[in-house]
Structure 1
Amino acid sequence: MALPELMAFIAIIILRGLTKVPSLSDCWSANLGNPQIIATMSRNRFKDIMRHLCFDDRDTRSERTKTDKFAAISAMWSSFVTNCITSYNSGRHITTDEQLFLSKTRCCFLQYVATKPDKFGIKFWAACDLKSKYICNVLPYLCKDPSRPSGERLSENVVLRLMEPFLDKRKNGTTDNFFTLMSLAQPLLRWKTTILGTVNKIHWEIPQSSRQRDCNEFTTQVF
């Protein structure tokens, strides 16, 4: 496969993300297909490349997985994330949340979430620009992380790592009640970063007067 064909393959993957079609095969169908995808490459050729394309040296993978669970794609993934961070100037508001991508690959960090439409998958933590939905930073969830500081909650660690490239730039992070904590807001504030998010009223740091509200959640902003 020559480089132009590889670039065309990647372009189709990007177009698939912009085209809401039920399945891969539908991208080439007469009714639901994307004319640009159909003109770029045949469906059989795309599937053939998808089946055989590999970005990793399998001979050394077992050794590298001892220290890096994401070793099978780690090098390319790091390059992708770096490009996401450096190639776009995000707006002031950055939203942090999780995303489960469908996968049945056998790996130690495969997740099962009963409430998701796709029950099995690989979970990613993502920070996205509020207006454009552009992925500003993203992390794979690899279960237990030995590098996480002792005593630091997972939610705090995730937001601080995702927001690290944007600290001290007067950004605002928007989160849901899994991430919104006073212990997270305080270090962000020192880096001139605010946080806006929903919080559960049962959190110990919520004033007793606020817990008497009828709603289960309310919105608070920490400056």
Structure 2
Amino acid sequence: KNNNFALYSVLKAQLSAATGPRHALGDGADARDYFRLLFPDSLFEHMVEQTNNYALYRQRRSGRIDSHWHPTNVREMQAYIGLNILMGINQLPDYGMYWATDIFIGNAGFKKTMTARRFEKLNQNIHLCDREMEPARGRPDYDGLYKIRPLLNVVQSTMWEAYAPNRCLTIDAGAVAVKGRFSTAQYMPSKPIKKGLKVWMLCDSKSGYCHRAAIHVSRPGEDAEALGYRVVTSLAKGLEGKYHHLFMDSFFTSVSLLQRLLRDGLYACGTTQQSRHGFPDMLKLRNVGKLAPGEFFQCQHGNIVATVMRDTKVISCLSSNCTPGIVGICQSRQCDGPSFGMPRPLPLLLYQENMRGVDLCDQLRECYQVGRPCKKWWRYFLWFYINLCIVDAYIIMRESRGGAPPPGWLVLGSRTRCYRLKKLLELMQPFHLWMGN
């Protein structure tokens, strides 16, 4: 049943920007060339410089010379990162087991690349920033993310520049799995990773390409609605006037946010909470009464359409990219019978179809972890962004080649999840081949 109040068509402008991969790589480019688009060699050079500086800093602070340490270089740093990537594919309980003498446990490739002691020394000293220049807490220039700021400055820029956003984009929270006690770790029951460090992500709704990933930093006294407003406007910076469609969940969606996005030339759609300021009073449950399955009410103010519908539960939605009154059929399946159709209004159909970009990215990212559990929070973010660059590089390569693999790659002939897993494995393979030479 459709119950509408003075509804009319929503005016929508077309996307006004080119979309897809942006690079000058030819058909002969390999997986490492695509990875360099996101994680350039200059970042490895910076890591080498700061790692060597930190090793000297530790020795000065302790007053002892580390006889087992010698300065690293770019080639060794790339090998070290490559080993951490391979540890996500060939998983063992303890990283020392990769150098075990037992032929059934030890890995010959790891042993040929570097010794266990050298790997341990790189683990101790790897750094991204100048610790001697770190602002103290309480100073005006204090930066809680100082330890990874150089990485963020580079990777956030390369991810944005390497792929022009498509029309439909997803904004959602992601999680970085951690082991141990971290005061900043949060419990997220709706995510595959229930407890971890929170990251806000802007991803392509169809491919899962991550355009932006911002680390969650809370502000004292900031409520959920204000935080959601700040996160969305920050992630959408640079999209103004291009008429992209943003899809988000009830944590973010509010009337004031959709009005702001419309002024900026952006459309949005998302579930919302009826308690949010500005949600139409006539659509609140106390006024619409008990809804039958498939029944919905809609009302409209300008381009913003509010919808309340009962599916398995009552769902409230706000949208600025959907004409009200249009009903489609959502295919679902009973556990013990054939599929059947559930009528749904257009805003919820589009939401269901496009609110998946971050989940797609997480699927690719979680297939193979990078790095090992540690006691330093910033290390988890280092491995997270390296993993994210691998996933984004894979997506760029796949779309640049129209789905065709590079010469010599095994073709599985399928676009299933297994196909993506195999391609992710092959994306990592050049590191292994390079380290073995």
Q: Do both share a fold (TM > 0.5)?
A: yes
Pairing of 1:71-220 with structure 2 (within 5 A) = 71-103=146-178, 110-113=184-187, 115=189, 120-144=195-219, 153-204=226-277, 205-209=279-283, 211=285, 212=288, 213=291, 214=310, 215-220=313-318
Q: CA deviation at 1:7?
A: 2.9
Q: CA deviation at 1:140?
A: 1.1
User: Secondary structure of 2:145's partner?
Assistant: coil
Structure 2 residue identity aligned to 1:216: V
Q: Compared with structure 1, are the counterparts of its residues 57 and 131 closer, same or farther at alpha carbon in structure 2 (3 Å cutoff)? A: same
Gap regions ≥5 residues in structure 1: 32-36
Q: CA deviation at 1:98?
A: 1.1
Q: Compared with structure 1, are the counterparts of its residues 159 and 222 closer, same or farther at alpha carbon in structure 2 (3 Å cutoff)? A: same
Give the TM-score normalised by structure 2.
Answer: 0.41
Question: 1:149-192 CA deviation, whole Å, 9 max, x = no partner?
Answer: xxx81101100000102222221111000001111111111122
Bigger Cα Rg: 2
* Matching of residue 3 in structure 1 with residue 74 in structure 2: yes
Q: Compared with structure 1, are the counterparts of its residues 51 and 102 closer, same or farther at alpha carbon in structure 2 (3 Å cutoff)? A: farther
Q: Is the 8 A contact 2:186 2:198 kept in 1?
A: no
Cα distance in 1 for residues equivalent to 2:156 and 2:136: 24
Question: 1:118-138 CA deviation, whole Å, 9 max, x = no partner?
Answer: 565321111111122121012
Deviates more, 1:61-70 or 1:92-101: 61-70
Q: CA deviation at 1:4?
A: 2.3
Q: CA deviation at 1:194?
A: 0.5
* Matched residue count: 217
Give the TM-score normalised by structure 1.
Answer: 0.75
Q: Is the 8 A contact 1:8 1:40 kept in 2?
A: no
Structure 2 residue identity aligned to 1:206: P
Q: Is the 8 A contact 2:83 2:110 kept in 1?
A: no
User: Secondary structure of 1:82's partner?
Assistant: helix
User: Secondary structure of 1:94's partner?
Assistant: strand
Q: Compared with structure 1, are the counterparts of its residues 86 and 39 closer, same or farther at alpha carbon in structure 2 (3 Å cutoff)? A: farther
Cα distance in 2 for residues equivalent to 1:40 and 1:189: 57
Q: Compared with structure 1, are the counterparts of its residues 43 and 178 closer, same or farther at alpha carbon in structure 2 (3 Å cutoff)? A: farther
Cα distance in 1 for residues equivalent to 2:197 and 2:138: 17
Q: CA deviation at 1:65?
A: 7.4
User: Secondary structure of 1:63's partner?
Assistant: coil
Deviates more, 1:179-188 or 1:112-121: 112-121
Q: Compared with structure 1, are the counterparts of its residues 11 and 130 closer, same or farther at alpha carbon in structure 2 (3 Å cutoff)? A: farther
Cα distance in 2 for residues equivalent to 1:105 and 1:98: 21
Q: Is the 8 A contact 1:201 1:217 kept in 2?
A: no
Q: Compared with structure 1, are the counterparts of its residues 62 and 200 closer, same or farther at alpha carbon in structure 2 (3 Å cutoff)? A: same
Q: Is the 8 A contact 1:104 1:120 kept in 2?
A: no
User: Secondary structure of 2:217's partner?
Assistant: coil
Q: Compared with structure 1, are the counterparts of its residues 15 and 97 closer, same or farther at alpha carbon in structure 2 (3 Å cutoff)? A: farther
Q: Is the 8 A contact 2:253 2:318 kept in 1?
A: no
Q: Compared with structure 1, are the counterparts of its residues 199 and 13 closer, same or farther at alpha carbon in structure 2 (3 Å cutoff)? A: farther
Q: Is the 8 A contact 1:56 1:72 kept in 2?
A: yes
Cα distance in 2 for residues equivalent to 1:70 and 1:14: 24
Greater RCO, 1 or 2 (C-alpha within 8 Å, sep 6+): 2
Deviates more, 1:207-216 or 1:127-136: 207-216
Pairing of 1:60-79 with structure 2 (within 5 A) = 60-63=133-136, 66=139, 67-79=142-154
